[in-house]
Structure 1
Amino acid sequence: MNNGMIPQETIDEVLRRYDIAETVGRYVQLSRNGKYLKGLCPFHSERTPSFTVTPEKQIFHCYGCGKGGNVVKFIMEIENETFPEAIKSMCEEAGIPISWQAPDGEQSERQKERSVMTEAHAYAAKFYHAVLRNTAAGTGAMNYLRDRGMTDKLIEEFGLGYAPARWDTLAQALDKKGFDLADMDRGGLLSRRHEGEGFVDRFRDRVMFPIHDGDGKIIAFAGRLMSDGQPKYLNSPESPLFSKSRTLYRFHAAKGAIRKSRQVVLLEGYMDVIKAWSAGVHNGVATMGTALTGEHASLLKRYADEAIVCYDGDDAGMAAASKSIPLLENAGFRVRVGVLPGKMDPDEYITAYGSEAYMREIVEGAVSALKFQLIYLRKSHILLEEDGKLRYLEDAIKLVARRESATERELTLKELAQEFGASTDSLKQDVFKIRQQEKLGTAGDIPGGSWNNEWNDNRSSAKLPKVSVDYVKAEQYLLSWMLQDRETADIVRERLDDRFHVEDHAAIAAYLYAYYAQGHQPDIGRFIATLQDDRLERATSAIALIEVPFGERELADCMRTVERQVTKKDDLQSLYEEMNRAERTGDPLRAAQILTEIIALERRQKES
């Protein structure tokens, strides 16, 4: 990361103004646990809090996913911003004067690439919109949108456009504007020709929907065919700007209403969001043609406590809604589901019955998650037959048993008993057996169930090494003490310098020596701001939370442990050099003897 021309005094002022507990508390519900604050991690799904904030040290760390750092790092992660972007937004909010401007040469290659791609997407959106509104080529698309109930106001507000049917209309326009077409290919606006050189438009003969990031910048597009061809919707590919698993359509416009109401309405399609918006649902968002992900849920949980799922009423929509319920509940949401009749989608329902009916019957009248699951369950059972009723009840009882609320279980069992002529007491007994067998209510943090597979597959490697090797622990203890005391750092530097066995530990020590050499006093939050490396920031925040008794004896013991490991490495290196000399001088017998010593020494080191 490059800070550009941001003065250190400005960074220090930001760290002084922003208390980490107060800042994190805007996004995460924290509760006190001794001198720590704990809550559910906003960066991955979990049931039991593993996210820790330490006001004393002004740092955060999650023992589940490994993310950690100071208050600036938290804003970077939560808002998906670079370091300069986070500092700038925090300065603007706090009224700190912004007296710097990073020249182009100070931008990282990543920032330059993103800047160019963002500019190109903004231009492409204006281009598509102009084609729709002002050209004969866009007449058919305009008629299609009006047939779908899109008013001129909605077309303007949502920036809808049209990609002409020609192969290279946008490519030529981008070329004339001076954009590198290879960059436009990486950004998802163009595609490289299958044969020969050159590029063609990725989107052709489609109604275009701009997709924005959380700050309102256009980062991608969705294009819809007006005919019955396939694919009906074509999305921009993954790019440096766009990630489907992290992006929600219209989130930038809806997040204010979501945060105010603490409620989000989840829809399936772009048209659904627009029509729902016109009906008064200003807290509605949709995924990018993919299933809801854990990252989507974590993003929304920062702003809302309740999720209302309003997917299509057909079989596919109901199945998608059913799959989303456990993901949302495990992220901490109260979940309700808007049930659409007759396999309608929200767009069709609003067109047929009007905005007021949609708000009253579907959004406000959404049923509980359990009620919806029981409705959906009926589709797979023939309730006209006695055997079908029994099988339905068996499956329904399993769903009820997994609900945490005893009141919800009680009321639902009474309804089932009344409908099917069963005894409430017998249904309660069945539920009790299931809860006993599955040990429900005792789930720990980050269980191995399927709800968390996405996080498990993508978890960070920046956590502390999960090893019991003495020298690794010793290095962690040394760094923990060095972060809190300058004199200890001086002692370690004089005796060990950079001879830490773990590479990240050596790097942290080197940064810490330089930090103290500049005259700074111990301040973990400020030190983390100097690291400029995501992995080291996470490792430092984890090490800073280690608490072990400190004294001269403990310090000496840890340094001796590290030195012994260094000696072992030196001995091993000497043996390898001696073996290589024996091989070069034509003494294979001696080389083989040394190799035996090397193998034995390495085995002893692994066992120690």
Structure 2
Amino acid sequence: MNSGMIPEETIRAVLQAIDIVDVVGRTVSLSKSGRTSYKGLCPFHSEKTPSFHVNQEKQVYKCFGCGAGGDAIRFVMEVEGLSFPESVAFLAEEAGIPVQWDNKASEDTPEQREMRMWLEAYELTAKFYEAVLNGTEQGKPAKQYLVERGFTDKMIRTFRIGFAPAFWDKLSQVLESKGYNLSSLEQGGLVRHGNNGYLDLFRERIIFPIHNHQGRIIAFAGRVLHSDQQPKYLNTPETKLFHKSKVLYNLHQARPYIRKKNQIVLFEGYADVIKAWEAGVDNGVAAMGTSLTSEHASMMKRYAAEVILCYDGDEAGQKAAYKNLQVLEQSGLHVKVAMLPPRMDPDEYIMKHGNRTFMTEIIGSPLTSTQFKLQWFKRKYNLNQPDSKLAYIRSSLHIISQLQAPSERELYLKELSRDCDIEIATLKQEMHEMRQENQKKQRIGDNIQKPWNNVMNDRKSTPAALKPAYYHAERNLLYLMMHSRELTLEVQEQLGDQLNVEVHAALAAYLYAYFAQNSEADVSRFVSTLQEDELVRTASTILMMEPGPEYSPEIITEYIRTIQIVPKQKWLEQKKQEMLQAEKIGDVAKAIQLGSEIITLERQLKDHNKDRQ
């Protein structure tokens, strides 16, 4: 994707051609809430009660839980992880609008130019590794290994698998011959500096390119050919483009299928993803290692509501599944677990049993989250020992007690009763006591740990501190200004930047600049001109306000006077403090002077208030 600038007329055409309800509706299930409003669960944070609102008339969205807000372009930026120009191009393509780029490389920062150079070098590196695997003597052992593991030529091409030859600096020579700065590429994780110059990071390894969600190569993973080599996997070190905690392998190819199915299948390794893809799992991804982060979970929640964990059947794989299941559930995802036989991974299972059996018996028959947790505890405890058996029962009851549906609790209690040969009435009594104790400790709601989300959970929300009159006057004035060029020019003449809340003053400055270039009010287009997240959130909040009094000269005058009086009130308070201090230290002359200034200020404020009556 080009990083140049998109002309204003193209941005305007895109915003006029698309409907934010359609754009948001691909990610969020929206329901109508009023004449032009829709609401749904926020895609940017976990919640159970909808606080995410979309205004079709104004073409903006706002979450009253986490504060996210903006127009359709901003939504695509946040959900897809794209830049502003890329988001415009993304929407333009959907709307059938041609995009003309103004290429101004000289406007790029040095960092942007370096990132672009890295991306070009990564692409060249991938082609080099592919060529070595498929067309050289050095690559034949690796190609034979892949074939024996069941990798077809189609799979190798689709996932761009390559091979790093056993030379110390072959890639370094190729990159340098193409004019790349090896010192910069060392920072980009492709080479490293040794005693005799630059050396290749990867040698004698099968190479799996790692793409970002847009399909650009940003890193590589290298797997050894021989089991005696260590480490088994070697990744590109973290760079400005590659952060393991924020990357999912194969997301760029799986994304459309994930959206269609509203489901992600999460694997442990690259080979599992690739073999499962061939078997029919087109919505499969993998994290960079078994440790899943909250960033991974948040990313997955943007694309799907459900995750199926398909980890190795050994103890380590199941332990990782149990740990990561909790991370995913904490992010509000619905989680299931596809169980493999002990000591088998997806790759091995597919090799032994075939694609169809894998799809039906493993991916098509996952355990619920609760089933998996109960099985996990059953393996963990020795049921032949009374103490261990009691620990298993209490651990299981703790899991069952958290289920909201009585029918679910009944189902699992019956299974536990049969497994442990204990009366179900006894289990129900102990579970009931657990539920009561839990309710005493913490009322059930969404995002209990996040006070900013109290507005939509079960808890009593803490009322926000009352805002001063000038705060509301500034917001009401900005609301009207966003809808009127004439009013904005009037406010600019009378107030300029003299708004008392910093973010309000910044929004006013943007409005002055916007209407200097545009004769018609377009709130969606205005929001798209804002550069900072706080400004976007504030503008979206103001636009979502219920319309105040109708526009009238009297109302505007009242707003402006309310805003103008604040500096004088603050100045008066400051003068009073200074006079008290002068009296304390015995500076009579200064105290008299300040007293005179205070009388003048109080008279001015009194006259100001008379004018308002």
Flag whether TM exceeds 0.5 (same fold). yes
1:408-431: CA deviation from partner (whole Å, max 9, x where unpaired): 212111111122222223323333
Asked if 2 retains the 8 angstrom alpha-carbon contact of 1:45 and 1:294, the reply is no
CA distance in 2, matches of 1:466, 1:85: 40
CA distance in 2, matches of 1:241, 1:3: 15
Map 1:326-345 → 2, pairs under 5 A: 326-345=326-345
Asked if 2 retains the 8 angstrom alpha-carbon contact of 1:247 and 1:288, the reply is yes
Other-structure match for 2:604? none
Other-structure match for 1:12? 12
Asked if 1 retains the 8 angstrom alpha-carbon contact of 2:474 and 2:504, the reply is yes
Structure 2 counterpart of 1:395, one-letter code: S
Asked if 1 retains the 8 angstrom alpha-carbon contact of 2:307 and 2:336, the reply is yes
Asked if 1 retains the 8 angstrom alpha-carbon contact of 2:44 and 2:302, the reply is no
**Distance verdict in 2 for CA 1:538–1:283, change over 3 Å:** same
Residue ranges of structure 1 left out of the alignment (5+ in a row): 453-464, 579-587, 602-608
Asked if 2 retains the 8 angstrom alpha-carbon contact of 1:44 and 1:294, the reply is no
| Residue 564 of structure 1: how far off its partner (Å) | 4.2
| Residue 212 of structure 1: how far off its partner (Å) | 1.4
Other-structure match for 1:438? 438
CA distance in 2, matches of 1:14, 1:110: 29
| Residue 57 of structure 1: how far off its partner (Å) | 1.6
> For 1:439, what is the secondary structure of its paired residue?
helix
| Residue 571 of structure 1: how far off its partner (Å) | 7.7
Other-structure match for 1:223? 222
CA distance in 1, matches of 2:400, 2:84: 47
Other-structure match for 1:498? 497
| Residue 366 of structure 1: how far off its partner (Å) | 1.4
1:144-164: CA deviation from partner (whole Å, max 9, x where unpaired): 333433333322222111223
Other-structure match for 1:423? 423
Alignment of 1:238 onto 2:271: no
Other-structure match for 1:28? 28
- The RMSD of aligned alpha carbons is 3.5
In our comparison, the structure showing a higher alpha carbon Rg is: 2
**Distance verdict in 2 for CA 1:572–1:209, change over 3 Å:** farther
CA distance in 2, matches of 1:157, 1:324: 28
Alignment of 1:125 onto 2:126: yes
**Distance verdict in 2 for CA 1:382–1:159, change over 3 Å:** same
Other-structure match for 1:537? 536
Asked if 1 retains the 8 angstrom alpha-carbon contact of 2:15 and 2:525, the reply is yes
Alignment of 1:142 onto 2:156: no
CA distance in 1, matches of 2:126, 2:571: 61
Structure 1 counterpart of 2:23, one-letter code: T
Asked if 1 retains the 8 angstrom alpha-carbon contact of 2:269 and 2:287, the reply is yes
**Distance verdict in 2 for CA 1:491–1:434, change over 3 Å:** farther
Under a length normalisation based on structure 1, what TM-score does the superposition of the two structures give? 0.84
Other-structure match for 1:605? none
| Residue 5 of structure 1: how far off its partner (Å) | 4.9
> For 1:342, what is the secondary structure of its paired residue?
coil
Other-structure match for 2:200? 201
Other-structure match for 1:274? 274
Alignment of 1:248 onto 2:275: no
CA distance in 2, matches of 1:165, 1:501: 66
Other-structure match for 2:514? 515
Q: Which moved more, 1:137-146 or 1:18-27?
A: 137-146
**Distance verdict in 2 for CA 1:120–1:281, change over 3 Å:** same
Asked if 1 retains the 8 angstrom alpha-carbon contact of 2:5 and 2:85, the reply is no
CA distance in 1, matches of 2:277, 2:80: 24
Residue ranges of structure 2 left out of the alignment (5+ in a row): 454-463, 580-584, 599-613
CA distance in 1, matches of 2:115, 2:355: 39
CA distance in 1, matches of 2:396, 2:262: 30
Structure 2 counterpart of 1:258, one-letter code: I
Other-structure match for 1:484? 483
Structure 1 counterpart of 2:135, one-letter code: N
| Residue 352 of structure 1: how far off its partner (Å) | 3.1
Map 1:40-439 → 2, pairs under 5 A: 40-107=41-108, 111-193=112-194, 199-226=198-225, 227-289=227-289, 291-439=291-439
Under a length normalisation based on structure 2, what TM-score does the superposition of the two structures give? 0.83
CA distance in 1, matches of 2:586, 2:131: 81
Q: Which moved more, 1:109-118 or 1:357-366?
A: 109-118
**Distance verdict in 2 for CA 1:172–1:3, change over 3 Å:** closer
Asked if 2 retains the 8 angstrom alpha-carbon contact of 1:481 and 1:550, the reply is no
| Residue 566 of structure 1: how far off its partner (Å) | 3.1
Asked if 2 retains the 8 angstrom alpha-carbon contact of 1:51 and 1:61, the reply is yes
> For 2:45, what is the secondary structure of its paired residue?
coil
CA distance in 2, matches of 1:415, 1:378: 12
**Distance verdict in 2 for CA 1:290–1:565, change over 3 Å:** farther
CA distance in 2, matches of 1:339, 1:290: 16
**Distance verdict in 2 for CA 1:185–1:84, change over 3 Å:** same
| Residue 204 of structure 1: how far off its partner (Å) | 2.8
CA distance in 1, matches of 2:72, 2:566: 36
In the alignment of these two chains, the number of paired residues is 570
Asked if 2 retains the 8 angstrom alpha-carbon contact of 1:3 and 1:83, the reply is no
**Distance verdict in 2 for CA 1:53–1:445, change over 3 Å:** farther
**Distance verdict in 2 for CA 1:576–1:160, change over 3 Å:** farther
Other-structure match for 1:461? none
| Residue 468 of structure 1: how far off its partner (Å) | 4.4
**Distance verdict in 2 for CA 1:442–1:529, change over 3 Å:** same
CA distance in 1, matches of 2:501, 2:84: 27
**Distance verdict in 2 for CA 1:178–1:565, change over 3 Å:** farther
Taking CA–CA contacts closer than 8 Å with sequence separation of 6 or more, which of the two structures ends up with the larger relative contact order? 1
Q: Which moved more, 1:326-335 or 1:130-139?
A: 326-335
1:266-321: CA deviation from partner (whole Å, max 9, x where unpaired): 10011111222232222211011252333333333344333211011222221221
Structure 1 counterpart of 2:405, one-letter code: S
Aligned-residue sequence identity (percent) comes to: 46
| Residue 29 of structure 1: how far off its partner (Å) | 0.9
CA distance in 2, matches of 1:449, 1:117: 39
> For 2:307, what is the secondary structure of its paired residue?
strand
CA distance in 2, matches of 1:72, 1:396: 47
CA distance in 2, matches of 1:39, 1:257: 22
